[in-house]
Amino acid sequence: MKIIVTGSTGFVGGEVIRQAIADERITHVFALTRKPLAGDFAKNPKLTVVEHQDYSTYPPELLAQLAGAEACIWTLGGRAYQFPDVETARKVSVDYTLAAAKAFIDELAPKLPEPQKFRFLFCSGRGAEWDEKKNMRMFADTRRIKGQVEKGLCDLADANKERFETWSVRPGAIMKRHAGLVNILTANTSGFIGVDHLAKAMLTIVINGHKDRIIEAEELLKL
């Protein structure tokens, strides 16, 4: 399978690329990124770095560089408080993600052999909420934004059932690789997950699919 990965210079996206290169089931990785990748894996022949500055648009020349991609793992974004304001957080998390999904539906999905569908996996977060009017005490903006992306992707999948399918994973706090025993025990009881385990789970889902569109932290720990 050939996959696109976004957020490739980040904590989660970088781990996804590292594992995808090592995974025999993945034949090629397109790293969609604003800046060049560092490290030895950036030179791996299994990886193509595609630099792109404006994630709200996907011109033909960019999509041509992604030709043959069968799926996307989207890790671009973050918590609302990590952005200058909520509007910027929503633009990056909602607008950019849905713009990419629509472009891939229109331009990449039709080129796949029938009945194959383009697969899109979104790295959401625990507690994502679809009801934007619901009163929430903690991380309300982040949870609403993540929920808005999830719902938008599901709406696109429902409108394009023959060409597109989507999943959203909801990890709790994400730990570094090679976490100590105490952290591992904490993860197994609280829904926290190691970044290596999360990357493995996301690759498994995008390759094999999953019965549920929304995959909670507890289920991720089983994959």
CATH number at residue 211: 3.40.50.720
C-beta of residue 194 within 8 angstroms of C-beta of residue 184:
yes
Range of the domain at 147: 2-220
Residue 139: pLDDT band with limits 50, 70, 90: confident
The pLDDT, as a whole number, for residue 190 is 56
Q: What is the pLDDT of residues 75-111, one digit of tens each?
A: 998 889 899 999 999 999 999 999 999 999 999 999 9
Alpha-carbon dihedral angle through residues 84, 153, 13, 72, given to the nearest 10 degrees: -140
Q: What is the mean pLDDT of residues 58-77?
A: 97
The total number of structural domains in the chain stands at: 1
Residue 191: pLDDT band with limits 50, 70, 90: low
Count of Cβ atoms closer than 10 Å to residue 131 Cβ: 11
Helix spans in the chain (H): 11-22, 60-65, 86-90, 96-103, 140-159, 181-190, 195-208, 217-220
Count of Cβ atoms closer than 10 Å to residue 12 Cβ: 21
